[in-house]
A and B are shown apart, each in its own frame.
Chain A
Amino acid sequence: MPSRLLALAASVAAAWFLAPSASFADAYPSRPITFIVPWGPGGGADQVARMASKLMEPELKVSVPVVNMPGATGQTGHQKLLTSPSDGYTLEIMTADTFATLAQPNSRFKIEQFIPVAVLIQQRSGLFVNATGPIKTFEDITKGDKELRVAITGYNSPDDLSIKLLGKQGAKLQGIPFAEPGLRYASVIGGQSDIVYEQAGDVRSFLDGKQIKPILFFSDKPAAGFEDTPYSGKLGIDVKLSQFRMVVVRADTDPAIVKKLSEVLSKVAQSAEYKAYLAQQYAQPDSYVGSDQALPFIKGWLAEFTALMPKRQAAQ
């Protein structure tokens, strides 16, 4: 496709012209920074990006417009980042779902292609059931007396792999994929599914409305806001995949620019407004991970995720 070749040529030319130099990094940023959200407006990724953009602008003294480019589990937007110049003027918010596609045997992206500048939000995933339904506790699930339907986002997702592991505990679970969040929640409230795998922040209105309740969180410590609910670490279940969203830039970006962005994001994370946002989302209060720790963090997550994948696929 000519336009793609053109884009490639343009980015090569741009990379050559804008070769990193000390003076360039000092002047950064001198023009607006595009913030790619590879998901639609209104979703979790969009919300965190808009919050961060609003708080970053006064620090960077340039505008940071958010551009939504949804599609293909976030891969469309990610592709856009990788074909933009690595000059620090294009950022992307990457979610755990997109990141998990890197573990697929034929993934078109690699972890070496980008630098995580900061992890902005971490949310514990959990299992939620109808508040008035027959399932009261996690033990009701592990009894395994009948097959239970779990609403998940899709196959080979963190949802799918996490619930598969529960089979070892005696649970008979069948994952039913719902790409559409609304249908996923409706299926539990309407009784078509028994359980839904989700992050508490995304189902806040149903929790507040006492329509659903959590029975387990995948975590090694109690989930923020749900200290009484059992968590996998406590029950000796070895899965704690969380949902996280991070800011990334292209791999060959000038380290001085990465440092500057990281400092700004660290200030953002410390602001009262951002902390209130995290609490509202039932996110971990210590969600923020700076650029020095972000790479080990996401590599650890990916290793855990890959270990959960069926052996046949992981080996390929």
Chain B
Amino acid sequence: MDTLTLLGRGFAELFQTQELIALFLGLMFGMLVSILPGLGLVMGVVLALPFTYSMELGPAIILLTAIYMSGTYAGCFTAILYRIPGEPMDVPLLWDGWGMTKRGEAAKALGWALVAALTGGLVSTIVMIGLAAPLKNLALSFGAPEYFAAVFFGLTTVVALAGNSLPNALISLCLGLLVSTVGIDATYGSERFTFGFTELMNGVPYVMVLVGMYGYGEILSKLSHSSSLKAIPKQDSFTTKFPTRAELWGLRATFARSTGLGTLLGLIPGAGATISSFVAYGVEKQYGKRGDKLGTGIPEGIVAPQIASTASVAGHMVPLMTLGLPGSGATAVILAAFLLKGVQPGPFLFQSEATTLVVYTIMASMFASVIGMCLLGFLWIPLVVRALLIPTGVLAAIIVMLTLVGAFADRNSLSDVWIVVVFGVLAWVLDRYKIPIAPMVLGAVLGPMAEDSYTRSMITFHGDWTIFFKQPLSGSLMGLALLSLAFPVMRNLFGRFSRAKAKPLNAT
């Protein structure tokens, strides 16, 4: 069956009670977490995961995907209207968004954000659905060296793009990789870092690392610099004013650039919505027509990051479903939801008709999510924004309870609850020392895949490490990985060089 027919059937499947309820709840919940400062979309999917245990596969994934999608959008409201970034990805958007609000153009700013989210979401979803079939076929020719190279590329990208300090990002990544080695090694069965505890024999479940670091840890950080609002800052209206056709045409280059960038960054494991948002803003500053004016309150500064963060969702979902590679925190949780249902994402999702239908229902739900979140944002945002009034303490208590109960419910194990607490405290400590946590989490998620595919490559090719560079696909991925590692170093060197060159000029 061709893609369009399948997608049509996916839509038919989507418009059923359970699926629609999951979609609606997901969108509302995603909006809620993304406007609350300190709670991000990753925490949203983490908190929702236990509720999917008793659901069927389709609605479960639709719920999480809807949270993921709307979580990239709703934060723009609080960023633009109140200068409160709901989560880090809204920070670039805030610079220009707040600038426009100060000039009394808040409605216009919201309009731009809406158009941007709509464009980014729809275009990238279309592109990714088109790519799903070829990627699925490519997945079958993915041997161990290719998997290793893809994962390696993902790990180097997150190191290169997360945070300002390369050493700090590397420290974080290595901590994550270290965590992933705990337990019985999958190939030879030797026990590593178990210290005799049966609980550690199966390793540290990466979902618990995610729940701990993004859920529990975020709450600790939030409490340590309390930011409870006494009242919502006064804002006359929530009206949205759409940009005119001429204005849209004027920004066509920004639209094209950021959509392409967001989709592309999504394909790379490691670059989540936040990184996409920052990179798109950076690229706009560098190459945009009015790049020098960015930050003063121009629409480009809203459009670029908003498009890229929403576009990255589809970019991440499709590699997850075709290759089984989770590229971001949110997709790692969605992978866990798949596995809990006994379904391994990968080319075999397309093996049986039932799971193929589920995949296309999920893709249809991504379209519906994009349109739905824009509609809901347009109509309901004044209501949702009131959630900012919930006292921090109450919110923190609810979230801590949900994370701990969720951790226990996963496999009825109290040791998982302790793992969540330990990693939550660790995340808080790392945060204090300005060490980014994204590389560590991704290291813990992708570490076992990296090790497994590396060992298998070595066994298959009798210990010949050059195999990673010899085969065309893995060779190009490894090349890209090395480039991405060299990028921050070069940027630093180049930066110093140009500063040094600029100095004498200033002196004169």
Interface residues of A (CB under 8 A from B): 1, 3, 40-43, 46, 67-73, 75-76, 79, 149, 154-156, 174, 176-183, 185-187, 189-192, 205-206, 209
Contacts and interface: CB of A to CB of B under 8 A. Distances in A.
Contacts of A149: 460
Contacts of A206: 351
B149 to A, nearest CB: 14
Contact of A177 (B184, B187, B346, B414): B187
Interface in B99-151: 139-144
Given A68-B411, A76-B201, A205 B352 contact: yes
Given A76-B202, A186-B348, A154 B411 contact: no
Contacts of B189: 154-156
B202 A70 contact: yes
A206 B140 CA distance: 14
A71 B202 contact: yes
B340 to A, nearest CB: 6
A186 B201 contact: no
A73 B189 CA distance: 10
Nearest to B202: A71
Given A41-B341, A68-B411, A206-B351, 4 more contacts: A3-B414, A155-B187, A155-B188, A190-B140
B412 A67 contact: yes
A68 B339 CA distance: 13
Contacts of B202: 70-72, 76
Contact of B183 (A72, A183, A192): A72
A41 B413 CA distance: 15
A192 B144 contact: yes
Interface string B138-181: 01111110000000000000000000000000000000000000
B341 A42 contact: yes
A190 B343 contact: no
Nearest to A189: B140
B142 A190 contact: yes
Contacts of A183: 346
B342 A40 contact: yes
A188 to B, nearest CB: 10
Interface residues of B, number: 37
Contacts of A156: 189
Contacts of B139: 186, 190
A194 to B, nearest CB: 11
Contact of A179 (B186, B197, B201, B411): B186
Nearest to B140: A190
Main secondary structure of the interface of B (DSSP, over half): loop
Contacts of A73: 184
A185 B348 contact: yes
B344 A180 contact: yes
Contacts of A205: 351-352
Contacts of B460: 149, 174, 176, 192
Contacts of A154: 186-187, 189
B408 to A, nearest CB: 12
A41 B410 CA distance: 11
B494 to A, nearest CB: 41
Contacts of B340: 40-41
Q: Residue among B198, B324, B352, B459 with the most chain A CB within 10 A?
A: B198
B141 A181 contact: no
Nearest to B449: A180
9 smallest CB-CB distances across A and B, nearest first, come from: A42-B342, A71-B202, A190-B140, A182-B344, A72-B201, A192-B143, A179-B186, A72-B202, A182-B346
A69 B201 CA distance: 13
B198 A75 contact: yes
A42 B351 CA distance: 16
A70 B207 CA distance: 14
5 contacts: A70-B202, A174-B459, A174-B460, A190-B139, A205-B351
B347 A186 contact: yes
Nearest to A211: B351
A71 B186 CA distance: 11
A181 B198 contact: no
A205 B356 CA distance: 13
A193 to B, nearest CB: 9
Contacts of B343: 42
B144 A179 contact: no
Nearest to B201: A72
A79 B200 CA distance: 13
A176 B456 contact: yes
Contacts of A181: 344
A54 B86 CA distance: 47
B143 A69 contact: no
Contact of A176 (B339, B347, B348, B459): B459
B193 to A, nearest CB: 14
Contacts of B143: 187, 190, 192
Contacts of A189: 140
B344 to A, nearest CB: 4
